[in-house]
């Protein structure tokens, strides 16, 4: 592993502050404390430029199935670069890995006779999908079916289309006007239910909110509903049993397309190959990215059902695409990555290790932990001041918790101020999970003592 001396480290940090405009970061904190520059990774471990070791408790941004430094993926990329580094998929061209990946993804998803459009990530995928659903209805003759409904606290990306479906306050402020034709319904956040109800007596009020919204907007104006199976960035919310079945029923009743954003959940993270497989609901469109390549190279996919492809076929064209749609190197890496996920049955490890992580945190029975929830390797810890009343600290505890954890060798993340995200790579071992539990729980305890 390459090492850096103190002078090199200082120069790197200075250059970062002076020239690198970070995505979704606090510029104030960066100016005060400098950047955290990573130099290397192996498996679930990361090493910064000063040589400190960390457990990767977030799999980057929820993305890595295989962890860092996988030699098989490196070889797949190398081989494809030397064979054919790029060719376009515009104008009826294709490449061998592009075709094979489309075929492979179509064979895996819970949509029959699926057709796969390739992009470079989640936001591009969602933008593609929002254009697709409008194009679909316009070409079917439903000229007014344009509105896309997502949920409060949703994160679907940051390009203008994706951002308009994202509903986290900080992301909208100052970027208005967003795209017209987007609206929002309640999130299934059972711990702090937006309707003040309790499952199952609630009658799935959060799902029925979609029906209410469609009626309010007029079914003739609504094109699609988009949701993650388990909402990630919004705070790790696992919908109750029956939620997506109800959503599917409502979408069918009003001829609204159901878009399943599996950008985080796809390829095994939740303990099944796709998050939606935890419910009995078949989407019309599935959005994929992140674990499709374990993040080794950028890639995303919008997967559509036959009924949508039929309309495109009748129209005879779909005038939308990116230079990197179907990039052969990204597709070759994705194929190898999926081969390894299937060979190692990594979704089973995600289920086992996710359970261990969840139970490990529960067993510590910490005063500041209102709820630990999740499915597979998507775990959220809701921090509170008072467990009985669910009261939150006026200044959220989360930032301090992740700071202490980082000092002790764990990268974790804070969502919406007071929810700690844990989502390590899907290859994580029991020993590494136990270490995550120890570091994060100690950090919560310490931060809580400081605040009280
Ligand atoms: N959709 C979901 C559910 C996501 O979590 C994300 C990113 O975290 C996106 C879409 C956007 O993906 P990207 O950052 O690759 O554009």
DSSP for 327-393, written as a single string: -HHHHHHHHHHHHHHHHHTHHHHHHHHHHHHHHHHHHH--TTEEEEEEETTEEEEEE-SBTTTTBPP
Below-50 pLDDT ranges, the chain:
none
- Evaluate: CB of 76 within 6 angstroms of ligand 1: no
**What is the per-residue pLDDT for 198?**
96
% of residues, the chain, pLDDT over 70: 100
The Cα 127–Cα 137 span in angstroms is 16
Q: What is the dihedral of CA 408, 410, 411, 416, to 10 degrees?
A: -80
Q: What is the pLDDT of residue 243?
A: 98
Q: Are strands 369-375 and 410-411 parallel, antiparallel or unpaired?
A: unpaired
Q: Atom of ligand 1 at shortest distance to CA of 62?
A: 8
**Helices within 52-191 (DSSP H only):** 59-62, 71-84, 96-108, 122-140, 160-165, 169-172
pLDDT score at 211? 98
Give the burial string for 338-361 (b: 16+ CB within 10 Å, else e): bebbeeeebbebbbbbbbbbbebb
265 in contact with ligand 1, CB cutoff 6 A: no
Q: What distance in angstroms lies between residue 262's CA and the mean position of ligand 1's atoms?
A: 9
Q: Is the CB of 261 under 6 A from ligand 1?
A: yes
pLDDT at 254: 98
How far apart are alpha carbons 289 and 298 in whole angstroms?
8
- Is the beta carbon of 120 within 6 A of some atom in ligand 1? no
Q: ipTM of this complex > 0.95?
A: yes
Q: What is the reported pLDDT for 417?
A: 86
Q: Is 130 in the pocket of ligand 1 (CB under 6 A)?
A: no
- The number of the ligand 1 atom at minimal distance from the alpha carbon of 233 is 5
Q: Which helix or strand (DSSP H or E) is residue 34 part of?
A: none
DSSP assignment of 40-70 equals: EEEBTEEEETT--EEEESSHHHHT-SS-B--
The angle formed by the CA atoms of residues 159, 163 and 164, to the nearest 5 degrees, is 125
Task: Retrieve residue 395's tokens.
Answer: 């200044």
How close is the Cα of 446 to the center of ligand 1, in Å?
32
Question: How far is the C-alpha of 27 from the C-alpha of 12, rounded, in Å?
Answer: 17
Q: What is the model's pLDDT at position 169? A: 82
User: Which residue has tokens 């890496």?
Assistant: 333
Give the Å distance between the CA of 156 and the centre of ligand 1.
5
Does the CB atom of residue 56 touch ligand 1 within 6 A? no
Q: Does ligand 1 lie within 6 Å of residue 263's CB atom? A: yes
How far, in Å, CA of 383 to CA of 366, rounded?
10
Say what the pLDDT of residue 16 is. Answer: 97
How many CB atoms lie under 10 A from the CB of residue 163? 22
Contact between 292 and 338 (Cβ < 8 Å): yes
Instruction: Supply the Cα-derived Rg of the chain in whole angstroms.
Output: 22
CA distance 345 to 349: 7
What is the model's pLDDT at position 2?
A: 84
Q: Closest Cα to residue 154, out of 72, 225, 214?
A: 225
What does each C-alpha distance from 163 to 28, 135, 189 come to in angstroms? 23, 19, 21
Q: How far is the CA of 388 from the centre of ligand 1 (A)?
A: 34
Please identify, by atom number, the ligand 1 atom nearest to the C-alpha of residue 228. 3
The pLDDT score that the predictor gives to residue 3 is: 86
Distance 406 CA to ligand 1 centre (A): 24
- Dump strand ranges (E) for 257-311: 257-261, 285-288, 300-304
């Amino acid at each position: 592993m390459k090492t850096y001396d103190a002078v090199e480290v200082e120069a790197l940090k200075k250059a970062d502050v002076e020239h690198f405009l970070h995505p979704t970061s606090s510029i104030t904190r960066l100016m005060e404390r400098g950047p955290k520059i990573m130099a290397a990774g192996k498996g679930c471990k990361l090493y910064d430029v000063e040589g400190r070791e960390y457990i990767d408790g977030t799999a980057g941004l929820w993305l890595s199935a295989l962890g860092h430094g996988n030699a098989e993926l490196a070889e797949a990329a190398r081989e494809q670069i030397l064979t054919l580094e790029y060719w376009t998929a515009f104008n009826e061209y294709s490449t061998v890995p592009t075709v094979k990946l489309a075929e492979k993804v179509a064979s895996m998803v819970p949509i029959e006779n699926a057709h796969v459009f390739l992009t470079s990530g989640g936001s591009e995928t969602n933008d593609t999908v929002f254009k697709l659903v409008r194009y679909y209805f316009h070409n079917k003759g439903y000229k007014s079916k344009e509105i896309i409904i997502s949920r409060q606290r949703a994160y679907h990306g940051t390009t203008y289309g994706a951002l308009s479906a994202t509903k986290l306050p900080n992301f909208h402020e100052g970027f208005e006007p967003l795209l017209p034709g987007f609206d929002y319904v309640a999130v299934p956040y059972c711990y702090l239910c937006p309707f003040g109800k309790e499952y199952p007596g609630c009658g799935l009020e959060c799902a029925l909110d979609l029906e209410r919204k469609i009626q309010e907007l007029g079914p003739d104006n609504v094109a699609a509903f988009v949701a993650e199976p388990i909402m990630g960035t919004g705070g790790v919310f696992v919908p109750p049993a029956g939620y997506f079945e109800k959503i599917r029923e409502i979408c069918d009743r009003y001829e609204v397309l159901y878009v399943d954003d599996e950008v985080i959940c796809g390829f095994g993270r939740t303990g099944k190959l796709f998050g939606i497989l935890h419910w009995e609901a078949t989407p019309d469109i599935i959005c994929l990215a992140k674990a499709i390549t374990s993040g080794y190279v950028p890639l995303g996919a919008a997967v559509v059902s036959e009924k949508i492809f039929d309309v495109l076929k009748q129209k005879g064209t779909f005038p939308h695409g990116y230079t990197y749609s179907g990039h052969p190197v990204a597709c070759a890496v994705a194929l190898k990555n999926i081969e390894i996920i299937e060979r190692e049955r990594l979704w089973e490890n995600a289920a086992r290790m996710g359970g261990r992580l969840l139970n490990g945190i529960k067993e510590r029975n910490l005063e500041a932990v209102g709820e630990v929830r999740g499915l597979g390797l998507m775990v959220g810890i809701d921090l509170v001041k008072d467990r009985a009343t669910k009261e939150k600290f006026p200044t959220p505890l989360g930032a301090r918790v992740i700071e202490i954890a980082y000092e002790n060798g764990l990268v974790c993340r804070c969502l919406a101020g007071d929810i700690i995200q844990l989502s390590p790579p899907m290859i994580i071992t029991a020993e590494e999970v136990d270490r995550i539990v120890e570091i994060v729980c100690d950090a919560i305890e310490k931060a809580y003592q400081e605040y009280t």
